[in-house]
Chain A
Amino acid sequence: GAGVSQTPSNKVTEKGKYVELRCDPISGHTALYWYRQSLGQGPEFLIYFQGTGAADDSGLPNDRFFAVRPEGSVSTLKIQRTERGDSAMYLCASSLSGQGEQYFGPGTRLTVT
């Protein structure tokens, strides 16, 4: 079956602009996670959804970052007033129930110029 998909695969934006990154999880997976991975580092947890609600958003670095999952499926990570330090690979993962193995999408590489 289809895996986790993310769009766009690459996004280049100017400092100060607003961006949206989309994640489409595996069908039927109730848990969805966002991670950020900087070059040479491991993925860093941002936020976890169980269904439509954010169960843990403690990894969001500041209030410029926000994520939604209005219907419990697709999620959008929103970044306002982007900064060069936001440049990274943004990874999305989903799992069946929130207590199982996570399956990662291909990622969105964000570059802020």
Chain B
Amino acid sequence: ELKVEQNPLFLSMQEGKNYTIYCNYSTTSDRLYWYRQDPGKSLESLFVLLSNGAVKQEGRLMASLDTKARLSTLHITAAVHDLSATYFCAVDMRYRDDKIIFGKGTRLHILP
């Protein structure tokens, strides 16, 4: 059974600081997603990572994928208050059983 673990689950940080959220998964995956969710809202797609070594950047967020280590990271550079949200990674097993398995999410709170 595929398991997806994120850490930390909660992170409070100061504006201007850098930090990394980690996503580990237990079996070989086809692709990995990062989503953002604001309170009471739906999920907004941030990144889709398709291959080993993939790196994508959008603004202050950068995501990477290491399929050999079964690890993805979401790095936040010089955090700003607007990035406060919950971030989910999700692992795609579609070529096996059509499922996407989500981690529990990392609740990020950035202090002004």
Contacts and interface: CB of A to CB of B under 8 A. Distances in A.
Contacts of B100: 33, 45, 102
B94 to A, nearest CB: 6
Contacts of B44: 104
Interface in A80-107: 91, 93, 98-99, 101-107
A61 interface: no
B44 to A, nearest CB: 8
Given A42-B88, A58-B97, A98-B94, A103 B45 contact: yes
A99 to B, nearest CB: 6
Interface in A25-62: 33, 40-45, 48, 55-56, 58-59
Interface residues of B, number: 21
A56 B97 contact: yes
A43 B102 contact: yes
Contacts of A105: 42
B98 A55 contact: yes
A107 B35 CA distance: 15
A42 B102 contact: yes
Question: Mostly helix, strand, loop or mixed at chain B's interface?
Answer: strand
Question: Mostly helix, strand, loop or mixed at chain A's interface?
Answer: loop
Contacts of B104: 40-42
Contacts, number: 52
Chain A, interface size category, equals 20 to 34
B94 A99 contact: yes
B43 A104 contact: yes
Contacts of B42: 91, 104-107
27 contacts: A40-B104, A40-B105, A41-B104, A42-B4, A42-B88, A42-B102, A42-B103, A43-B43, A43-B90, A43-B102, A45-B100, A45-B101, A48-B98, A56-B98, A59-B99, A91-B42, A91-B43, A98-B98, A99-B94, A101-B33, A101-B45, A102-B33, A102-B45, A102-B100, A104-B42, A105-B42, A106-B42
Given A42-B104, A45-B99, A106-B42, 11 more contacts: A42-B90, A42-B103, A43-B88, A56-B98, A56-B99, A58-B99, A91-B42, A98-B98, A101-B33, A104-B35, A104-B42
